[in-house]
């Protein structure tokens, strides 16, 4: 299978990273392998994975279908908020991985959706949530919807609102965090603020409640970087409660957090067929309500 896309961003980005952000079913390492095998071209020329793309570049990808991880249908209970011929919107529970990997081939949300569809349609990943983050997530049911929504993410048309309970009292009622993010040189699994990073990251927040030694925030991410909220909250010294990876406390009041207190509350985008603006909401889950109510 061969596909062509035009790079429309103004900022330059590595080809492997960009392709992995567009084709969510494939990893960055998969595209690196394709480039090693001379199956990715920019302006009809073979390129290395490190090649920086510029606006107007025409990218041709020759996919190797056998490399794609097979997703087996599984009977896993899921909370479907909305479904039509183009999209399925799910209220993801914390603790479930969104998509399979070679180290985690089953028990994921995509496995559950494959089971739900009973083979009637394919399910395409267009964005992600971390394993321990709960809330609303969209999946496409056909190529047209996948391309439409993916482009909306690229152009920042999609609006995402989160709730986060963070350590400490934030004095300001509102704030904007503008700090570039990149992988930590000490630990590649950690995303940290790095002045030399070329990816801009912007997070807006509004205080909903201050209680005890925590603050409940409504958060909007303008950019969609990996671990953006978690990393930015750590950067301003108010880590998300229960976030073991980014230093959030596990205990608040008398309650122990089993996961990070981060919830994708709603998402707004343009429907790929009706072209109308749609908005879907996942109410705050019980575990977050209990943590919030337990704070003294």
Task: Quick: pLDDT tens for 204-230.
Answer: 999 999 988 899 999 999 998 889 999
Residue % of the chain over a pLDDT of 70 = 94
Residue 217, CB half-sphere, CA atoms under 13 Å: how many?
A: 33
163 burial (CB, 10 Å; 0-12 / 13-18 / 19+) is buried
In angstroms, the CA 31 to CA 63 distance is 9
Q: Supply 252's token pair.
A: 């608040």
Mean pLDDT value of segment 105-117: 91
Q: Is the pLDDT of residue 258 over 90?
A: no
Handedness of CA 206, 209, 210, 215 (dihedral sign): negative
Q: Is the pLDDT of residue 54 over 90?
A: yes
Helix and strand counts by DSSP (H, E) for the chain? 6, 20
Res 37: pLDDT = 84
Instruction: Decide if 214 contacts 241 (C-beta within 8 A).
Output: yes
> Of 25, 86, 130, 132, which residue is the catalytic one?
130
> Which of 48-52, 89-93, 188-192 has the weakest average pLDDT?
188-192
> What predicted TM-score, i.e. pTM, was given to this entire model?
0.77
Catalytic, 130? Answer yes
Q: Beta partners for 83?
A: 88
Mean pLDDT value of segment 161-168: 96
Instruction: Identify the H or E element spanning 288.
Output: helix 286-294
Domains, the chain, in order of start with CATH, read 2-67 (3.10.290.10), 79-154 (3.30.2350.10), 159-276 (3.30.2350.10)
Give the β-pairing of 262-270 and 134-140. Answer: parallel
pLDDT band, very low/low/confident/very high, at 160 (cuts 50, 70, 90):
very high
Give the β-pairing of 159-167 and 214-221. Answer: antiparallel
Res 97: pLDDT = 93
């Amino acid at each position: 299978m061969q596909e062509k896309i035009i790079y429309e961003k103004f900022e330059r980005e590595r080809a492997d990273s960009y392709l992995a952000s567009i084709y969510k079913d494939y990893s960055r390492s998969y595209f690196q392998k394709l480039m090693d095998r001379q199956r990715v071209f920019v302006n009809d020329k073979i390129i290395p994975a490190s090649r920086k793309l510029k606006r107007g570049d025409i990218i041709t990808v020759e996919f190797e279908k056998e490399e794609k991880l097979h997703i087996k249908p599984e009977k896993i209970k899921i909370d479907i908020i909305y479904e039509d011929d183009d999209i399925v919107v799910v209220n993801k529970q914390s603790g479930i991985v969104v998509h399979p990997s070679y180290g985690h081939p089953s028990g994921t949300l995509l496995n559950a959706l494959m089971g739900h569809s009973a083979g009637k349609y394919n399910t395409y990943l267009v964005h992600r949530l971390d394993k321990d983050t709960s809330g609303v997530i969209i999946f496409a049911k056909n190529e047209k919807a996948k391309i439409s929504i993916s482009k909306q993410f690229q152009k920042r048309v999609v609006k995402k609102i989160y709730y986060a309970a963070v350590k400490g009292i934030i004095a300001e009622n509102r704030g904007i965090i503008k700090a570039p993010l990149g992988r930590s040189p000490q630990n590649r699994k950690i995303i940290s603020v790095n002045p030399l990073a070329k990816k801009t990251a912007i997070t807006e927040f509004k205080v909903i409640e201050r209680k005890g030694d925590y603050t409940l925030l409504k958060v909007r991410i303008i950019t969609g970087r990996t671990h953006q909220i978690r990393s930015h909250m750590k950067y301003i010294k108010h880590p998300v409660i229960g976030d073991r990876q980014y230093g959030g406390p596990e205990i608040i009041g008398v309650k122990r957090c089993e996961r990070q207190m981060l919830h994708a509350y709603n998402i707004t985008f343009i429907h790929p067929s009706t072209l109308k603006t749609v908005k879907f909401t996942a109410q705050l889950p019980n575990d977050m309500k209990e943590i919030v109510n337990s704070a003294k």
